A and B are shown apart, each in its own frame.
Chain A
């Protein structure tokens, strides 16, 4: 039905997609797998009319198709759910879902009632109870993702491209999405799906295409594949145990947080991190994890409670205060709070540590270039040059650049909020190794992650949050997923 023929795409002289041919069939879930920067998102965006190909073309229902814009593709019957969420925050959920195809009276007046009921029906399809009259900005990341999915479903498309639709979803929401996908399949809709979660691929996909470094490694039916084979194809090498060995922490207390409170997000949160220790903050979506670490980093200070660091009581009212004390953070919200899109990769990396790369108020360009070059090599950031705008890099390379930014200032405590979200296995393994290396060097690490294996295998101790309160502090080496979940679930 939909076919990519020798599609090619370059960015700034770097070929991100080598000539690639894949075909997609009605009633089939076709998974695109590959590491970050392998070209999955690029391929999808060309199919959805967001990028123009630099070579080859798209064939749609047997005819040469040249989509000049996402609108053209949408009219033809191709919808896309983007990895980067694009809500319009000040419109309601219903207005976002029906955006561009609002139900209208003959005079062009929007039929509010029909709009609400359409949105309600689509959300019902995803078994979600989000009120369609709510403002988009009041939603959590997970709820926003659900709305974006509902929006794509509402287009009655024949092909739906899903770029990591489950990155922010809870298990329940994922299950509901899968049931919706099954119904779409039965209606003959073709689904193109990318994800970094292995289990999803084998639960969902009929066929799997693997991309590596912008080239197609191969396409096979899912029944002929197994996880080990798939990973080998993706990485191009056998991957050893991706979790490195933990070293015991020191006894020296680095961070002591007591009774941190900001109603209604969290209350009386106390935790302790020693030098050389990795502490994970676990909990369900909306349990207050991001809010707590945001308070420690000064992004949104707590209303009461105490933070002492290196034995001194600190008043952290802004990230500047935190950085000055030696606390660094890599945020969960890469696009909103991380990247300066128009600046080069290099300028993004040095932003926090510019003072160390200056003489007085003047930048030391030579020192800056040297620092950037060594970091880009060390963190294996793939870019055509250090001046390439960071917006053009893949998600994994952006994340590595932001990690490099955080570590360039040499902080004692590093807060990592979902550091591996939407990142491929190879980059994940690199980040895991980095975390243990930092711990061995005597740093303290505060890790927020929704992936339980990650929490259990990386951390020394796990602080579990439930609805904004600490429900348990567990020793990671002697606990398991069930115990962790029992403490995380609301009673």
Chain B
């Protein structure tokens, strides 16, 4: 009961903060509380959201993935390369983007589990490798000339942006997975105490490999969605995306030490960062100040949370 209560409290606390920020913005700006703007917020958070859900799995195993931003760029370039009009059906570039991300994630996972190299180092390496490959494959220039079917992926279905639907689908599937799959439980066990999990017969290496692979696959998805939105494969896209994603997950109550955290928390963390970004834009705050304010909020949110957890 205790964990449940605390999680609930945590989620309500975060939800409350989001509502207060939203209320403040509704009062102080005319633009915030409109269907158009809220749809825009949802569209803006969807890429960070997909990344955050993916990296939640890795953080739960007490790992980390710093390569998200670079892999987004590499997947986007790979996707765009196969997305010229009249060459392939739209499924080919999508599959290429997803598989590129998954391959990077699996390689991270193999190096962490088989190679015994610390996740920080492995994914730091992947961060520069993937960025370099994106620049090599694209010749350093944006891969343009994208088919209409591909760019349509950034459009709407029934008035809802497709990226938002992707994010929602990914979040629901991830939530269901962690709650109901044996592998989901194993992820918590591995992050909580790796040696004890191994002694209890949990296939620790396979569990970690899965977490990194899934994170990579979702990073590939984020790359495809981003490419469709900006209608090019940008080798320089996605700079520092990993930081926003990890920040959202940590704000959502996931422990960097592993074993503790939920997808609902991650979802709320993503929303908080999104609403704040949007609000600062609407209020016309310069992007220099925005960076400072965002940093303060990230540290502040986690500090409040830990203080609450201790008492």
Q: Which residues of A approach B to under 8 Å, CB–CB?
A: 11-13, 297, 299, 318-320, 323, 329, 331, 336-344, 347, 351-352, 354-355, 358, 361-363, 365, 384-385, 387-389, 392, 405
Contact = CB atoms under 8 A, between A and B. Distances in A.
A389 B196 contact: no
Given A340-B188, A340-B192, 17 more contacts: A299-B199, A319-B200, A319-B201, A323-B201, A339-B196, A340-B189, A342-B188, A347-B188, A347-B189, A352-B201, A354-B186, A361-B183, A362-B181, A384-B1, A384-B2, A389-B2, A405-B200
A339 B202 CA distance: 13
Contacts of A344: 3
Nearest to A350: B185
A361 B4 contact: no
A331 B201 contact: no
Q: Lowest 5 CB-CB distances: which A-B pairs, in order? A: A12-B2, A340-B192, A323-B201, A337-B199, A351-B200
Contact of B3 (A13, A361, A389): A389
B187 to A, nearest CB: 11
A341 B183 CA distance: 18
A318 B1 contact: no
Contacts of A354: 182, 185-186
B56 to A, nearest CB: 15
B195 interface: yes
Contacts of A340: 188-189, 192-193, 196-197, 259
A290 to B, nearest CB: 13
Contacts of A11: 2
A46 to B, nearest CB: 16
A320 B201 contact: yes
Nearest to A368: B185
A485 B260 CA distance: 47
B198 interface: yes
A337 B195 contact: yes
A351 B189 contact: yes
Contacts of B192: 340-343
Contacts of B203: 320
Nearest to B199: A337
A12 B2 CA distance: 6
A318 B176 CA distance: 30
Contacts of A358: 182
A337 B196 contact: yes
Given A299-B199, A319-B201, A363-B182, A387 B2 contact: yes
Nearest to A14: B2
A405 B186 CA distance: 15
Given A336-B196, A342-B260, A362 B3 contact: no
A123 B103 CA distance: 54
Contact of A341 (B193, B195, B200): B193
B34 interface: no
B144 to A, nearest CB: 42
A159 B186 CA distance: 44
A87 to B, nearest CB: 16
Given A13-B1, A355-B182, A362-B181, A319 B196 contact: no
Chain A: interface secondary structure?
mixed
A388 B200 contact: no
14 contacts: A11-B2, A13-B1, A13-B2, A319-B199, A319-B201, A338-B196, A339-B196, A340-B197, A341-B193, A343-B189, A343-B192, A362-B181, A385-B1, A388-B1
B286 interface: no
Interface in B239-258: 255
A336 B195 contact: yes
Contacts of B4: 387
A209 B90 CA distance: 77
Contacts of A388: 1-3
A12 B197 contact: no
B182 A331 contact: no
Contacts of B199: 297, 299, 319, 329, 331, 337-338
A310 to B, nearest CB: 18
A12 B1 contact: yes
Q: Which of A323, A338, A347, A351 has the most CB of B within 10 A?
A: A351
A364 to B, nearest CB: 9
A362 B182 CA distance: 6
Nearest to A406: B200
Q: Which of B185, B188, B196, B197 has the most CB of A within 10 A?
A: B196
A198 B42 CA distance: 66
B276 to A, nearest CB: 29
A336 B199 CA distance: 10
Contacts of B189: 340, 343, 347, 351
B181 A342 contact: no
Contact of B202 (A341, A351, A362, A365): A351
Contacts of B193: 336, 339-341
A361 B181 contact: yes
Contact of B181 (A351, A363, A385): A363
Contacts of A338: 196, 199
Given A12-B1, A389-B3, A343 B259 contact: yes
A48 B4 CA distance: 29
A299 B200 CA distance: 10
Contacts of B195: 336-337
Contacts of A341: 192-193, 259
Contacts of A365: 180
B254 to A, nearest CB: 12
A319 B202 CA distance: 8
A297 B199 CA distance: 9
Nearest to A334: B196
Interface string B220-250: 0000000000000000000000000000000
A319 B192 CA distance: 18
B72 to A, nearest CB: 29
A12 B5 CA distance: 10
Contacts of B198: 318-319
Nearest to B260: A342
Contacts of B260: 342
Interface string B176-220: 000011111110110011011111111100000000000000000
A362 B200 contact: no
Nearest to B184: A363
Interface string B118-151: 0000000000000000000000000000000000
B178 to A, nearest CB: 11
A440 B202 CA distance: 30
A130 B259 CA distance: 36
A302 B310 CA distance: 44
Contacts of B3: 342, 344, 387-389
Q: Which of B1, B4, B183, B260 has the most CB of A within 10 A?
A: B1
Nearest to B2: A12
A352 B201 CA distance: 6
A5 B3 CA distance: 30
A55 B65 CA distance: 45
A239 to B, nearest CB: 32
Q: Which of A329, A342, A362, A365 has the most CB of B within 10 A?
A: A342
Q: Which of B3, B4, B200 has the most CB of A within 10 A?
A: B200
A318 B202 CA distance: 10
